Each structure stands twice: as structure tokens, then as C-alpha cells.
Chain A
Amino acid sequence: MHGSPLSSIIQRAIADDREALAILYQRYSARMYRVACHITASHDDARDALHDIFVGLPELLRKYSGHGDLEGWLLRVVARRALMVVRRRNRFPEFSWDELIIHPSVDVDIPTLNRVTLERAISRLPDSLRIIFWLKEVEGFTHEEIAALLETTISATTNKLYRARRQLQNLLRTENDA
């Protein structure tokens, strides 16, 4: 790692070099922003999370051991930060009447999938399920990583992923019926 361009960029970023920070931003911010968006379900919150991370990045990089993929490491950082935002937000939640809609139980009918309904259905998943669903299905996090991020057990994340799929199936079926 030592001597490679990335390590020198990291060293420069640690030394508060703007150009190095900009390179890291250009290289990793898109995916980090995407993860934050998926977890927080809010562009504003994702923006705040990304802002906070890059403001604290020079100090944070000192803790980077150099082992493993930097992008994966940064994704875990942003996921953790975004989760903090979600938890804070949940303390003062905004009420949604959508939550009161009665969802029928699972049936063998398999709903047809299209993007619009799926997006709507995912947005209606509870945070705890939606986050795991995104992290696993889209970002490709392992159950071990998700469990470590969410401070829970692997079996709990596995179960929640199953529940997320099941609820999605329900929600999509409701959408289709409607």
C-alpha cells in the first residue's frame, strides 16, 4: 500500500490537503451519497451525512489501517453515520397516514413488478427493514457487516431481510390490487 497513489492521497488528506480531499470526494462521494440516501430515505439527510463525513475525514483517515478496500471502509462509515441520522430522526418522527393502511397477509399471488410501485413500496417499509434490504440487496453488504453496523446479530439481520421481502410482496400486491 505504501507508495501507491492511494496511500499518498490518504497521507495528503490527513495533512488537510484540499486537493487530496477533493480527489477522495470525486472518487467515492457518489456511492457514499447513494448509501446515505438509501438508509436515510432523504436527500437532505444524506447530504448532511456526507458533509459531516468529509468535514471529519482528515481526522478519520488516521484510524484507517490500510488493510482492505478504502471504499468499503468509507461505505461502512457513511452507513453508520446515516444510521445515526435515522435514529435521531426517529426520536422526533413525522407522522404518516400511510402507516395506518391495513396490509393484507401474504398470499400466493405474486405481484407484478414495476419501478414506480416498487419504489413506493420500499419507501413504505419500516426503517429497520428498509435499511437492511438496501444494504444487502443493493450495496452488497454481508450479513456480518450489517450486523456489526446495526449492533445486532446475524440471525436478526437475516430474519429482517426475509421480513422485508415478505412485506414488499404484500405491499406490491396491495398496489397491484389498487
Chain B
Amino acid sequence: MKLSNKYSEKTVETVGTIQYSCTDTISNLFHLNDRNVDKSIVYTMPALSECSLQSNAYTTFYKKDKDQPVLVDGTRAFHSCDITNMKTENSQKYVVIGFPDRTTNGQLYMYSYNEDKTAVYNGIYAGNIKFLRDVPVKNILCDCWNIQAIDVSHTPVNYGRVELITLSDLISNPDKYIIGTFQMSYALWGGTGYTGICKPLIAGMNGSNMFFAEMTALLNEPVFSYNHFNKSLSGGTTFLINFKDNSVYGKMPDAHIDVKDSDFYERTAGTHTFYETEESDTHVLLKTTAYAVQNSAITTMSTQLKPYMRGSYFLKMLASLGLYFVTDHNVAGVTPDNLLQRSNIALGEMNSSFCTTGRFIMGQELLRSKSPNKDGFTVNDEFNPNKASKDDDINDITLNTDRMLSSGMIKYYAMNLSDLNELVTNLNTGQGILDFKNYCDFVVSCDVLPFDISQHYLVAHNAQCKVGDRILGNFDRVENILHNFYLGSYYVQPQHGSFLDYEPYTTVSVHIPYCSDVIIPTNLAMDNEIKIDMIVNVVTGVCRGVVSINNTVYTSTVGNISTPYPLSIESAGSIRAAYVSAITTSVGVMAAGAQGNFVGVGTGLLGVAQSLTAANTITPKVVNGGGDSSTNIMLNDTPVIYMSTPVESLPAGYGHTYGYACNKSDQVGNFSGFTVFANVDTSGLSCDNDSKNRIKALLESGVYI
């Protein structure tokens, strides 16, 4: 796993008058969280033995750095787990621990440290969930769950309308709930008002939590770009909601932000556009780094700002932690083998050390949620491994085109229908000293684009448009040519978690609107994030769809996004039919103009263009886009990914009778189950030659270890 350099050291970023600081906590956070090292987990036998001593249990397997154990409550015992299975590999014992049905003190971890290391909190703040994530706790058999959830049909206001649901409920209806807090427990959560609600109800058990966390805590990580030492947010302070960059999962949570009194506003816009609706949440989350929460709405974080996760994301998040979910509370006799059957955990979920990867838990819907983010966190380290920033992001491309436009003899104006009407009216009325000239000759082009030009390009609002002595009106004069539209990103989930996700079995292509389809090699696309940008030259109408993978430009394709509007009545007849209805309504206006002074403009236009070309480096656009751009507007405006992947037929017992492709060298005794070896060297055996040959043949044809 690659860590962002941005968070590897103390940084301070000033936006306006507000200073956001980033601590160095993140580097410590990730010290042990290298998921590339499966065995970093490691509930080793010595660790468990020490835990059983009920003294400083957690320091045994969690040290934030080499020298500094985490501040923990040393009296907390780690006595409530059972070892359900174990395996020795390279002289290291790995164990699977389970939590049996016990009546008291079931917590694995209840006390935690505060993120700034200054205090200990009782199961509320970030510690618990951080614990799960920082030390990739794996092989925990979670036999009973309570999840506080809110039906999405309700308005999430603090804890109003909280329901306690089981994991099974959530899995069955992941989109029905949003999650504010969750807890894994043996039985009841002892909180007031929740007695007896636990499902499944286990008679005689006292409330005890194994894990408890509020989503607030998860989102308010110390990687936050605000100073969490001032978490109380004293007057005048604004802090930044920055899920995407901060989420260690590499992907922003699909969170629902309950800002009861609103006050999400666009950080860099200057004007405060507030968002209050469900749609606004989506909008905010699409550009998470751009928004802030106004402090005035936040009395205290615990009451006014409540982040909620959608159920589906919540499940992904938990899956990524690498837990075994056992929804049946009776875990007696649980072994990895029957876990596979009982928990729908794919076999590939476990590696030889019994560690889960979080990739396959509960089927395809819960494929791990980790994906690359803009800071170079990349799941697929084989690709773009050294990318540490978004410095070469497409958005960093800048061109000084202002001068080109302002110095040219042709000015471009962004107009709406009303503006066009005004232009036509002014072209057709009045007389001036240039009456010998048809004023319409000065209109060299008119194009339609599928977006509001003034909203996306730099414009001089209400600039005077003057031809000769005649003022044609005040319109938005376009001041720059290029704009990059972010068309979206898509994380390509492996569908099989195996070689089947790659060519020739699986193919991936992306359709870029107004451009063409782009075939993306699956070894680049799979488990990575495809991002599509579109650079549009508003003057020429040329659009370039840029395909980036993990924020590195992979390829691009050119199309045309603007549609030439007819300047003569002759061309109007042939092109009109291609326009969408909304645009067609304006045709009458221009046609009316064409019946007047507009007639004949088309024939003289080329000459004007030629003369202007000679006088200026800008080539006036006579026609652009062709027929495609006018029809493309009827198509989808979003990129579309097409992925075709095979359907495999995996019979029951495939691994037991045939084995999975493995290719691993080790001592024979360190394997288990059905195994086929290759080219076994039996020279070390002390038996006779016939026996050696038979043993060799057996090992190479498949044996059970």
C-alpha cells in the first residue's frame, strides 16, 4: 500500500483566512496497516498467551510505532475468545479465534485511545473502529450483531427513529438503511431504551460490546484536514469535510450527511451556495474536497453534524476489514471449512494463514471497497506504483488562452435564446454609417453546445457587442477557450477475483460521449479506477475525451461536441431536423432573421473567414462538428463502461477433489488438503527406489496431506 506523501508529514494549508493543518498521525496510523503483508496480523500464540494474562493485552499486537505502545486501559482482558483453529507455517502459528456465547464481558476491545492520544474514551470515539482497521483484525468470528440503523425513508436527525437490526437484515436490505452507529456484541447493548431489542435474543446474556463505533468517529479521522485538537470548533472556524482524500479505504464513503441546519457550502466559490436536500448530499460527495461546513450550524459535532453511511457501503467497509461474519450465533465447532459454507465466504477469501482479504465476503456485492484515490493510494500496486500526488492530473493542465481571444478580431459570446432574439432584432433594425454592409456578415458562426457556456468558461458578463457603429447588445463574452469537464470515475471491480478477470476472458471498454469507444486493457482497468475527463475547445467544438487510470492519463480520443447553427435558411432546412426539441424552439427565431438580413450570409462567410485568417492567427470556424455532434446530443451524456466477463461453472468440492491453482513452494507438511505437486525430488527419502518412484508418482498425481 502506498501512502500519500501529503499526509506523511505535517502540512498546513491555508484557504482564505482559514488554516487547515494535517498532523503526522497518519504515518503512524499506517505503520502496521500494510495489507500487502498478510501475516502482519497476527494473532500469534504468544500474543494470545500474553493477552490471556489480562495485562496490557493490546500493546501486544498494536503498537502505533516501534517504540510507543498505544495508550490503553491495561485492565481490559482479552479472555473471551476461543481458539477455533490454528495452523503452523514457517514455524509461526496462526490461529483463528472465535467468540463463544458467554454471558459476561464479551468485549474484545472497549476502551480506546483518543486520536490525539490525550484521552481514553469508552467505546465512542475513533478508537474502536481504528483499532479494527489499524491492526487488520482478521479471523474474528462475529456471531451476533447489533447495528443501529435508520430507515432511509426517515429523516436522520440525531438518533431519531433508530432501529436495531441484525447483520442479516442489513445484508438483505443494504439500501434500506443508513448506519449511524454499529456494534458487535454478544447480546444486548446496555444502553437505555435498547433492552430486549437485540436480535437474535440470547437469553441470560448481559449487554456487552465487542466493537462499538459511531460513523462520526470513522469519518472524523485524524487524517482530517482540520486541526482535530480544536475539534470543538470555536467561533469562526470552519472545517473541511474531505472524505475522499482522507478515507483510508481509498474511496469516499457513500455517506449521508445530516446537516440539519444545512450550511454545506462550496468552499472555493466565493458565494455560499447552501445544500440541504438529498440531491445536495450527492452533489457534495461528488466533489468532496470542495465543500466545507459552516461552523454556525455546528453547535457540537455530536448533535448537529451526523454522518451516516449507507448500508451497502457499511458492509463493504466491514468486509474490507477482513472479518468473518457468522450470522448464526451458535459458533460451536466453527472451523474455516464450515465457515465457508455457513458464511458464504469464498474459498479464495482465505490464504494459507487463514487470514481474510475482505475481497469476497458474502459474495460479489461485498467485494472490497478499496480503490485508488487521488493521492495515489492504489490497490493495484503493479500499476503506477510511485504516484504520490495528483500533480500531473489532467486538471493541472492550464493554457493562457485569454490573450488569444481578447486580441482576436472575432469575439465569441455565450447566449441564451433571449440573447439570440435580441441579437437578431438588433441586426435587422436601424441604420448606420455601415449600411453599405450587411451586418449579418459580421456574424461568422453560431454553434450550440450541450452545456451552459457561461457556467463553465471564463466570461465577461454583459460585455458590449459592437459592430461598427452599431451596438448589438450586451452579452457574455467568452474569455477562454478550453475547459476540462470531469465526466466521472468508475472503479472496476474484479468479478471473479481470479485470472478470469483478465483478458482474454474479460474485456473492458468505455464509451465516451461525443467521442468514441475506448478499449482498456483489463490488466490496467481491473481493480483500478477509470476516470474520464473531457477537454472542450469551445471555439472549435473539438472535444478530447481523456482516459485516466489511477489518475495517470492512459489515452485520449477526439470528437466534436458543438453543432453548427445554420446561418442561412438553406442550411437551416437540412440541419434543423437533427436538433433536440429544446433547441429546435429557437430555430424559428433565426429563420425569421434569415428571411431578412440573414439571407446570403452563408455565401459571404468564407470570404470573411479568409480575410480574418490573414489578419489574425485565429481561424474562424465556418463549420464544425459535422452531423455527429448534433445527433450525439441525444445520447447519454455520461461515460458508460462495458465489461464482459465469463460465467464460470464451479462444482461443489472443486478444491477438495481437484485443487485450485496454487504454485507455491513449501514443505509438503505445511500444506493441507488435496495437493498436487510438480517434479518432486525424493532423493532425501530413505526408502527403496521403487517406493520413491511410487511416492513421486502419488505426489505428482495428487494426494491429501
- The answer to whether A and B interact is no
